Structure formats: structure tokens, C-alpha cells
């Protein structure tokens, strides 16, 4: 597995990592034993960049990842996040970047993960009520205390990233990027290259849509949160499905899957760009890892630009209320 870094003193991670969110929530029933085996299989293949967060499964995902790494901690580059708060029954109760909450959340994550340090600690969403300088200042204290190695932000606006980097080096910025979510190409990816920040693309397969696996909204199981996303609505689904057909056709001509083509495209966005597709299926894990070997020619990239230019997808990434939490 290829490894990438954005600057000499920054983290070096596998170009393709593993997003663990769906192992505990949002995409149907959880199967912890199966998920632990997938994490082990990922490590065996050099897919060592593991991504979790304290809000996934209201802490259950961190516990799962911690169990999987119990005897293999040194093999993984472990990233987790704080800021999105959950209440009773999993309710979402807001976002906090308060310094005292930063310290409290980190200690809780360390305990759930069963580790003595976190490799990469992200602010999951920017708190509009707390200056980013205060939040990152508290995060920097965690680095000084040896609890955290590198700091990151998620879904932060360019100006926010610049302000944060003046307080403490920002090692990674995590933002949604895929063939149908191309907004970061305009400012964020060039900014990360300028500042030596690793750009971590989440949902690189369009929450599974770009794989071609889903042919109608009814294909999503009961309780799957994609049922509530605008791009997967009955109104938009068919229009977006037409876009995927072109991706599938090009993938077939290159002898790879649509998912591999979509992941390979993400990796062409820059040498400082990595991605963290999620799966609980060992076969799909193998396919995703194989995407690092897919070579896209300038002609292939031009074809993909024609199929899925920026803003081609119908519908926003999230419902209106949640969209207000991105680009913070």
C-alpha cells in the first residue's frame, strides 16, 4: 500500500485508509465480530489509517476499534474526533469547541479506545460560538501532554484553517470529496498543499452510490440514514443514477470496478490527498485497497470530468440543518 504525507514533519499514512463509522451506526445493523475481522484484514494489507469518532454509535465505535487494536496498536495510525455531542437515546445535542470540553472529550476517547495516545485528533465540526484559536489552543495542550500526536479539523472553511494553523500546526483536514462532491477542489485542496496539510477525503464513494450497488431508494435498509439525504430522495435518485452509468462504463473498459475508479480519481487530486472509504465487507475492503494500483490517464480524467463535472449531483450532501454545520 502506497503511503503519503503532506510535509516532512507531518504524519505518513496509507493512501487508502478505513473509515469505521458504518461499523456501529447509520448504515444498518452492526456486527462487531465481522467489523473487527475487517479491521484486522485492513492492517494485514497495509491499510493502517483508521478513522473513528466519539459520536459514532455514541462511543461504541471507539470501543470497537479499541478492541480490534488491543494487540496491534503499533500497526495502526489511529484518528478520532470530538465536538458533535450526543445525548440520551443517541440524540444530537449540539457542537462544542470549548477548551474544557476538548480536554474532557479526549480523556473519554482515550478510555474507550484503551490507548495511551491518539495519533490524529480532529475537531469534528467547528463550533461557531467559540473562536477557533481557543479550541485549537486547548487541542495543542493535549499534544504537549502526550495524549495526542497530531491535530486535525473536519469540514472547516479555508479562513478557519488558516487561523487554526497560526495557533498550532494542523496536520490534516477531513472533508467530503468524491466525484459527486467536488467543492474542495476549488480552495481547500490547494490550501492544504500550500500549508502542508494532509487532505483526508471521506465518503469518497458517495456513501456507496458511486459503486453502482444501489439502484433505487428502496435498496437502503430500514434505519439507514441515507434515506433522509437529499441526493437519495425519490426526486433526485434517478437523475444521479444516470451519472453513475458513465462511471461504470469507463471502469469496465479499464478492467476495474466503479468503486476502484472513484477511489483512484480521489487520489489524483494531489500527492497530499488520501481517502478513508468505509466497509464491513472483507471483499470490498480488498477491492478498495486495490484502487491504489488503478492508473488513470489524462484521457480518463477528462472523461470523468465530462461525466461528473463539479455540481453535477442533484441535491445537497445533507439536509439543510446539517449543511449549516459544514464549511465552518
Q: Which residues are catalytic?
A: 56
Cα(314)–Cα(265) distance, integer angstroms = 20
Element (H, E) at 33: helix 32-44
- List the end-to-end C-alpha distance of the chain, in Å, as a whole number: 33
Q: Where are the beta strands (DSSP E) in 3-72?
A: 3-4, 13-14, 18-19, 49-51
- Neighbouring CB atoms inside 10 A of 263's CB total 28
Beta bridge partners of 118: 148
Q: How many Cβ atoms are within 10 Å of 45's Cβ, its own excluded?
A: 16
Pairwise CA distance, residues 45 & 288, whole Å = 11
CA 211, distance to chain mean position in Å, is 17
CA nearest to 24, candidates 74, 84, 64, 51: 64
- Coil/strand/helix, residue 251: helix
Amino acid at each position: 500500500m502506497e503511503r503519503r504525507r503532506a510535509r516532512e514533519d507531518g504524519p505518513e499514512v496509507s493512501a487508502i485508509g478505513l473509515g469505521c463509522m458504518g461499523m456501529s451506526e447509520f448504515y444498518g445493523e452492526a456486527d462487531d465480530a465481522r467489523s473487527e475481522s475487517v479491521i484486522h484484514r485492513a492492517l494485514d494489507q497495509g491499510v493502517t489509517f483508521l478513522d473513528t469518532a466519539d459520536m459514532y454509535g455514541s462511543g461504541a465505535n471507539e470501543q470497537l476499534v479499541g478492541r480490534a487494536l488491543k494487540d496491534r496498536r503499533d500497526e495502526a495510525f489511529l484518528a478520532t474526533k470530538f465536538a458533535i455531542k450526543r445525548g440520551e437515546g443517541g440524540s444530537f445535542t449540539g457542537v462544542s469547541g470549548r477548551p474544557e470540553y476538548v480536554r474532557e472529550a479526549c480523556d473519554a476517547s482515550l478510555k474507550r479506545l484503551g490507548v495511551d495516545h491518539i495519533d490524529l485528533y480532529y475537531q469534528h465540526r467547528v463550533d461557531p460560538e467559540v473562536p477557533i484559536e481557543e479550541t485549537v489552543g486547548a487541542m495543542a495542550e493535549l499534544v504537549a501532554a502526550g495524549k495526542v500526536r497530531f491535530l486535525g479539523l473536519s469540514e472547516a472553511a479555508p479562513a478557519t484553517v488558516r487561523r487554526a494553523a497560526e495557533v498550532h500546526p494542523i496536520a490534516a483536514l477531513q472533508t467530503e470529496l468524491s466525484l459527486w462532491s467536488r467543492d474542495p477542489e476549488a480552495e481547500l485542496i490547494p490550501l492544504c498543499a500550500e500549508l502542508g496539510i494532509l487532505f483526508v477525503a471521506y465518503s469518497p464513494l458517495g456513501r456507496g452510490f458511486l459503486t453502482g450497488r444501489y439502484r433505487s431508494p428502496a435498496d437502503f435498509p430500514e434505519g439507514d440514514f441515507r434515506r433522509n439525504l437529499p441526493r437519495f430522495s425519490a426526486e433526485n435518485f434517478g437523475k444521479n443514477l444516470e451519472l453513475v452509468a458513465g462511471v461504470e462504463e469507463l471502469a469496465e473498459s479499464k478492467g476495474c470496478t466503479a468503486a476502484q475508479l472513484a477511489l483512484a480519481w480521489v487520489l489524483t487530486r494531489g500527492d497530499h490527498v488520501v481517502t478513508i472509504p468505509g466497509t464491513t465487507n472483507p471483499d470490498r475492503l480488498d477491492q478498495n485497497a486495490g484502487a491504489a494500483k488503478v492508473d488513470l490517464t489524462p484521457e480518463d480524467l477528462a472523461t470523468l470530468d465530462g461525466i461528473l463535472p463539479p455540481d453535477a449531483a442533484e441535491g445537497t450532501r445533507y439536509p439543510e440543518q446539517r449543511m449549516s454545520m459544514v464549511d465552518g
